[in-house]
């Protein structure tokens, strides 16, 4: 068989067959992720039903589910989730926005980097909780201090990630830009930003994760609504089921927001030449 | 006309890469630059391109001094250096950004047809083979219609078959607009197939050692006796350049007996 006809034969594998298999795989893969939590939940339910544990401090899934239903019925769950979600969203938008501008500037300009980076690194070392008293003093106990705290949390991973990514852009590609006489702005827009997009998306997801962490800190320190408030409320009223329900809510909503970023970024990252771990 | 006037280059770390290179290249001429490693061929090319401007001397194109990348000078590197986030067609059209969309699309598709990759216009660079990617890079460099095209060992990363294929292809493309080509290579065959003139450089510091005219009619037969004769002259010159044996004013350029591998 000639090389040409062998190639044609290989490419002739019915495309329908291959895409059907990949469609099946796309449903199976997320389903696989649910197996471990479901098995553990089931096991715990059985342990409590059989009486091996009172299930008082660690309520079984059925009780937690019931708590969810009760909270949803009074509307508390929805209200708290939306409040926390909007705090994270506002803080994320603020922190990621500022970090993108500052990170792009320090990544591109060595002078700006030498001016700003040392101070920013010093600020990064301050633990999140330490900011709380200061922000409450400056910005009050309501939304402003919380959103600012979340923004601070989101800022650093995005800033570091973007700055580092810009500095690591392949010199060979930058030279192509120089050979085509791109201006500074064009260089950033047409070569640097697309080149750093994968690393930038990762830094955004990392920032979002930190944002969720910081929202808990913010809400633990004085809130009257939100999932963090639900957490404290459960603790003070001695309702472990409420605590765990709040934690589960955090897990679900946090994962959902991360998934949203990955989904939104996916079409812009189709060009990547890497081993796909999806 | 492209004039190199006593080009010298000393890097900040003190390395004296080029020491006084002077060359005149006519419009439409193909000049190959060949030499042992460290003789400054790539440095010379990058100085002409304006990417690493010379520390002494001047590069003058059509009376205009070149100190930075210029729109009349295009360059092709050893790697294709395609932008991975752009499809092939967008890569080829990269240098045409100021142009109206219709004109850009037309020139891009014409260029892709010319390099035989019209069916790959909407493909990602990662899906191309080495030879295909280098062809796209050539199309990208030729689309803005430069007067001078610099090629820095463009085919050295490819296998022998693809290399000879692309050499012939390059001549074909060159015949379209006949830009001035300056080709840096370490493949003697490639230099003889392509060039009107072969400049042999010697190292430490890099300067021109010898110049060999290739007066063979194109298309050049790699198997012919005339080709072989030129090849022996070039290899002999390379040998001498690396021995740093001074070549006197009246010395004949004779092929040494059994001049073979020069590295």
Nearest to B81 among A172, A271, A272 (CB): A172
Beta carbons within 10 angstroms of residue A137's beta carbon: 10
Q: What percent of chain A has pLDDT over 90?
A: 40
Establish whether the linkage from the previous residue to B205 is cis, with ω within 30° of 0: yes
What band does A231 get if pLDDT is binned at 50, 70 and 90? confident
Q: What is the pLDDT of residue A176?
A: 94
CA distance B111 to B143: 6
Contacting residues of B for A194, CB less than 8 Å apart = 83, 85-86
Contacts of B190 (CB under 8 A, 6+ apart): B32, B155, B163, B167, B183
Which contiguous run of DSSP H or E holds residue B74?
Answer: strand B73-76
- What average pLDDT does the segment B15-33 reach? 90
CB contact under 8 A, A195 and B85: yes
**Counting Cβ atoms within 10 Å, is residue B86 exposed (0-12), middle (13-18) or buried (19+)?**
middle
Q: Where are the domains of chain A?
A: 64-269
Query: How many angstroms separate the CA of residue A77 from the nearest CA in chain B?
Result: 43
If DSSP codes are grouped into helix, strand and coil, which group holds residue B203?
coil
Q: What is the β-pairing status of strands B73-76 and B30-35?
A: unpaired
Distance CA A159, CA A104 (A): 8
Across the range B199-214, mean pLDDT stands at 88
Question: Which chain A residues are closer than 8 Å to B126 by Cβ?
Answer: 271-273
Contact between B188 and B34 (Cβ < 8 Å)? yes
Domains of chain B by residue range: 2-243
B-chain CB neighbours of A180 within 8 Å are 69, 94-95
Under an 8 A CB cutoff, do A271 and B95 touch?
Answer: no
Residue B195: which pLDDT band, with cuts at 50, 70 and 90? very high
CB pairs under 8 A between A and B: 45
Please state the separation of Cα B61 from the chain's center in Å.
Answer: 17
Q: Which residues of chain B lie closer than 8 angstroms to A191, CB-CB?
A: 83
Band (A275; pLDDT cuts 50, 70, 90): confident
Whole-number average pLDDT of chain B? 88
Indicate the average pLDDT of chain A.
Answer: 86
In this prediction, residue A10 carries a pLDDT of 47
Query: Nearest-CA distance from B74 to chain A in Å?
Result: 7
- What is the CATH T-level fold of the domain B2-243, as seen in this structure? Rossmann fold (3.40.50)
Cis bond leading into A241, ω under 30°?
A: no
Reply yes or no on whether the pLDDT at B36 is more than 90: no
**pLDDT reading at A209 higher than 90:** yes
Bridge partners for A119 per DSSP:
none
Chain B: nearest CA to A178, how far in angstroms?
7
DSSP run (H or E) holding B92: helix B88-92
Alpha-carbon gap: A278 to the closest alpha carbon of chain B (Å): 18
Summarize pLDDT for A8-57 with one digit per residue, the tens: 444 545 555 556 666 777 777 778 888 898 899 898 888 888 888 777 77
Regarding the domain delimited by A64-269, which CATH topology (the fold level of the hierarchy) does it fall under?
Answer: MetI-like fold (1.10.3720)
Is B75 an interface residue toward A (CB < 8 Å)?
Answer: yes
Question: Is the pLDDT score of B203 beyond 70?
Answer: yes
Contact status of B205 with chain A (Cβ, < 8 Å): no
């Amino acid at each position: 068989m000639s090389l040409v006809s062998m190639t044609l034969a290989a490419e002739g594998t019915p495309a329908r067959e291959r895409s059907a298999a990949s469609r099946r795989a796309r449903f199976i893969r997320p389903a696989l992720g649910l197996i471990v939590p479901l098995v553990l939940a089931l096991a715990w339910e059985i342990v409590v039903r059989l009486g091996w544990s009172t299930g008082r401090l660690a309520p079984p899934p059925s009780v937690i589910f019931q708590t969810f239903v009760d909270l949803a019925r009074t509307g508390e769950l929805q209200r708290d989730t939306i409040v926390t979600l909007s705090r994270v969203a506002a803080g994320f938008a603020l922190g990621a926005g500022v970090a993108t501008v500052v990170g792009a500037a320090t990544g591109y300009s060595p002078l700006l980097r030498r001016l700003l980076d040392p101070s920013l690194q010093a600020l990064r070392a301050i633990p999140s909780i330490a900011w709380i008293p200061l922000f409450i003093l400056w910005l009050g106990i309501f939304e402003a201090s919380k959103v600012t705290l979340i923004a601070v949390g989101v800022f650093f991973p995005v800033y570091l990630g973007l700055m580092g990514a810009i500095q690591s852009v392949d010199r060979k590609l930058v030279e192509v830009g120089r050979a085509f006489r791109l201006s500074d702005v064009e260089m950033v827009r047409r070569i640097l930003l697309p080149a750093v997009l994968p690393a930038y998306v990762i830094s955004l997801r990392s920032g979002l994760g930190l944002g969720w962490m910081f929202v808990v800190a913010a809400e633990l320190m004085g809130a009257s609504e939100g999932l963090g408030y639900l957490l404290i409320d459960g603790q003070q009223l001695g309702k472990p089921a409420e605590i765990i329900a709040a934690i589960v809510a955090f897990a679900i909503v946090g994962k959902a927001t991360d998934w949203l970023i990955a989904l939104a970024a996916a079409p812009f990252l189709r060009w990547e030449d890497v081993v796909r771990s999806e | 006309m492209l004039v190199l006037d006593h080009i010298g280059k000393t890097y900040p770390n003190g390395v004296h890469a080029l020491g006084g290179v002077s060359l005149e290249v006519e419009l439409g001429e193909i000049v190959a630059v060949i030499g042992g490693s460290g003789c400054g061929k790539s440095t010379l090319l990058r100085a002409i391109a304006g990417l690493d401007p010379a520390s002494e001397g001047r590069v003058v194109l059509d009376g205009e001094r070149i100190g930075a990348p210029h729109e009349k000078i295009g360059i092709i590197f050893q790697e294709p250096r395609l932008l991975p986030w752009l499809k092939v067609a967008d890569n080829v059209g990269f240098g045409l950004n100021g142009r109206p969309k219709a004109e850009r699309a037309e020139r891009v598709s014409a260029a892709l047809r010319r390099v035989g990759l019209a069916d790959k216009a909407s493909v990602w660079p990662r899906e191309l083979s080495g030879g295909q990617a280098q062809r796209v890079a050539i199309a990208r460099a030729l689309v803005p219609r430069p007067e001078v095209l610099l090629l820095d060992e463009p085919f050295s990363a490819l296998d022998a078959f693809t290399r000879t294929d692309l050499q012939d292809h390059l001549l074909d493309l060159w015949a379209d607009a006949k830009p001035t080509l300056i080709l840096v290579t370490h493949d003697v065959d490639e230099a003889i197939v392509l060039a009107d003139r072969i400049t042999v450089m010697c190292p430490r510091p890099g300067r021109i050692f010898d110049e060999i005219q290739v007066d063979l009619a194109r298309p050049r037969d790699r198997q012919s006796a005339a080709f072989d004769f030129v090849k022996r002259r070039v290899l002999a010159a390379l040998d001498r350049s690396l021995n740093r044996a001074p070549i006197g004013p009246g010395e004949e350029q004779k092929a040494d007996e059994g001049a073979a591998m020069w590295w």
